[in-house]
Amino acid sequence: MTRKFFVGGNWKCNGTRETIAKICEEFNKGPSVGDAPVEVVLGCPFIYADYTREKLRKDWILAVQNCWVGKGGAFTGEVSAEMIKDAGIPWVILGHSERRHLPELKESDETVAVKVAYALANGLKVMACIGELLEEREAGKTQEVNERQLKAIAAKLKEDDWKNVVIAYEPVWAIGTGKVATPEQAQEVHEQVRAWVAANVSPAVAADVRILYGGSVTAKNCKELGEKPDVDGFLVGGASLKPEFLEIVDAYKSK
């Protein structure tokens, strides 16, 4: 089965109504991808979700960047999967390295896994993020870390759940640093991830699941990365706030 190319954007904790209106105006100048073999999903801050949807081109899809671990209630400041679904937002980004590693947050593998399972059970689609720190890569633990994070998620999912999941591999050392995994490094890790899914979930899921690369993706490096057989797209940070994001979306043509 041919996997549809996927380009995710993550605005993180950035944006104002003014800047969102400006960047959406730029994005709207790009050619339609409505019939193209690419899916574009843009993750915005909760507070700007409705405003972004109003301004954003209709052939792109909206995501938010987090959700609560379960049903709503007395959890001040949190947003539940049910609320996101009710707001008509189909996607959520979970397990991003900043959620896992910022000292103010420090989400565990278990917490991320619970969130992923609950979001899927309530009708959302999930960009599930995995990836290693610099010291883990230097210690030769990249595969070990990715498999540990995947194992926690897979333990809580049924095989059918995976049709609504994309895996985003984001080497933490390459996020926002200007460093980027070489296309060969990205392909090596993506191939390992797919092999783990084949062995631990099913070969069918491994063949279908899309594995994205995230880590200083730009218009300059996206085509070469996107040409690799197990790189099914990107999760883009800083560049998703710039007009060059249109060029990154166009990387689907390299397939």
Instruction: Tell me the per-residue pLDDT of 125-140, one tens digit each, with 9 for 90 and over.
Output: 999 999 999 999 999 9
Q: Is the pLDDT of residue 191 over 60?
A: yes
What is the CA angle 7-9-10, rounded to 5?
150
Q: Band of the pLDDT at 76, cuts 50, 70, 90?
A: very high
**173: exposed, middle or buried (Cβ count in 10 Å: 0-12, 13-18, 19+):** buried
Query: What is the chain's mean pLDDT, rounded?
Result: 96
pLDDT of residue 248: 98
Name the CA radius of gyration of the chain, rounded. Answer: 17
DSSP state of 89: -
Q: Is the pLDDT of residue 224 over 90?
A: yes
Contacts of residue 184, defined as CB under 8 A and 6 or more positions apart, other chains included, come to none
- Identify whether the C-beta of residue 214 lies closer than 8 Å to the C-beta of residue 173: no
Q: Is the pLDDT of residue 111 over 90?
A: yes
pLDDT of residue 176: 78
pLDDT of residue 229: 97
- Identify whether the C-beta of residue 184 lies closer than 8 Å to the C-beta of residue 130: no
Instruction: Tell me the per-residue pLDDT of 44-58, one tens digit each, with 9 for 90 and over.
Output: 999 999 999 999 999
Q: Which residues are catalytic?
A: 96, 170
Domains of the chain with CATH codes:
5-254 (3.20.20.70)
Please give the single-letter amino acid code of residue 234: F
Q: Band of the pLDDT at 178, cuts 50, 70, 90?
A: confident
Give the span between the Cα atoms of 151 and 143, in whole angstroms: 12
- pTM of the complete model: 0.97
Q: Mean pLDDT over residues 222-230, rounded?
A: 97
Q: Is the pLDDT of residue 177 over 90?
A: no
